Amino acid sequence: MRLRKQVYIYFLSYFINAGLSFSILSLLTHYLSTYDYGVINLYSSFLMLLMPFISGGIIYPLSVEYFKRPKETYGTYFNSAQAIPLISLALFTALCIALQHPLSQFLKVSPIWVWIMPVTAWWIMINETAMMITRNKNRPFQFAFFSVGKNLAEIALTIGLVIGLHWAWQGRLLSAALAPAIVGIISIYLFYRWLLVVKKIDWSNTRRIFLLSFPFVFERLAVFVMGYSDKYFIDRYDLNGTKEVGLYGLGSQLATIIFLVVISMNSAYQPYLFKKLAEGFKGKIHKTTVWYIAACAVTVAGMFMAIPLLFRFFIGNDFQDAKPYAYILCSGYFMWGIYNAFQAYLIYLEKNRQILLISLLGMTASLSLNIFLVPRYGAQGAAFASVITYSAMAIACYLLVRKYFIAKA
């Protein structure tokens, strides 16, 4: 299938996802209080903290090795890699049960929600793995099924639980736990059909995969620190506490539309770039990278024009003060898109140490800026901290690509 057609399908699937996500968001602002929405954001943010530890960072190496290994050996590699998340799932489930009381107080939920966090993160990882495989197989329609199917299940469950049963924030959290499990069961079935699940695990291979994947744990952990940890600073230091977390979380979710567009482009951009590099491309920066960044810029400009209309016609009255956060955080995601454009080169060249260093830079900058800005400027300080952090990472990644790729050309 031609690249342009793939991009259209991937973009359409993420466009539908963005619409479904916005539908849930708009719905919740009319049926939940800002405090309830704050609880949802605190819980979902902690789930994002667990994700890199549960996945073990295996998805990026699995994606790259798909193009490097013969099909006959990739199944064994895939199977050996899946042992890492299963071990992590057992360890973190035990840890969450042991720490259920302080975690439930911290997240403002009952202990049962703490118990199910690790398995929810594992199902999300299974769904992401299925999407990665379908993307690498050049099967965008299957990719769209997994991507859109999860959100369709989630919105249906949300309507039933939040509106139908009036379960408030509990209904939203339950729908977010059940939807990935439903799609995940289908994913595991297809793993068997694709001959990716074999009887034997090569533990020496598992160890090698763990060492290769470990830097990506920190790369994903950096995503949490930079995109989600700020909510805990707001909950602690902003005068409005959890209510302001709800407003900030709404602005963040609107800005996530930029994130979805970037990820949709990655679905075609990264495999295409990896293929060109594997074929011996020796240019400086491939032209698709320039188009990728330009598409990010156009998306952000369109989002800036859409925000006033979205708040006027779709967002509940109690959430109107979230508008400034949406503008600032959209700008931050644009810089994150630039970082992703150049990170693909480092992934292909297996510059895992450099990826780790950039992740550590981002985490350090984000935490330092939030510690300094949020007590002084509240939630708005957290929004500006996000823009500064992503800008620093984008610049650092570009400079490393110049050193390790352009210099070799």
State the sign of the Cα–Cα–Cα–Cα dihedral 152, 154, 158, 161: positive
pLDDT of 58-108, one tens digit each? Answer: 888 888 888 878 877 888 889 899 999 999 999 999 999 999 999 999 999
Q: What is the pLDDT of residue 409?
A: 45
pLDDT above 90 coverage of the chain, percent: 53
The contacts of residue 209 (CB under 8 Å, 6+ apart) are: 58, 61, 77, 80, 81, 84
Rounded Cα distance, 361 and 371, in Å: 15
Q: What is the pLDDT of residue 3?
A: 56
Q: What is the pLDDT of residue 334?
A: 93
Question: Measured at the alpha carbon of residue 179, what is the angle toward residues 243 and 39, in degrees to the nearest 5?
Answer: 10
Token pair, residue 273, equals 């770039």
Q: Which residue has the higher pLDDT, 284 or 225?
A: 225
> Domain map of the chain by residue range?
3-408
Residue 407 has pLDDT above 60, yes or no: no
Residue 1 has pLDDT above 60, yes or no: no
Contact, 129 vs 79, CB < 8 A? no
pLDDT of 287-317, one tens digit each? Answer: 788 888 998 999 999 999 999 999 999 999 9
Please name which of 158, 135, 148, 160 lies closest in space to residue 67, comparing C-alpha atoms: 135
pTM: 0.81
What does the pLDDT average to over 383-399?
94
Token pair, residue 301, equals 């400009």
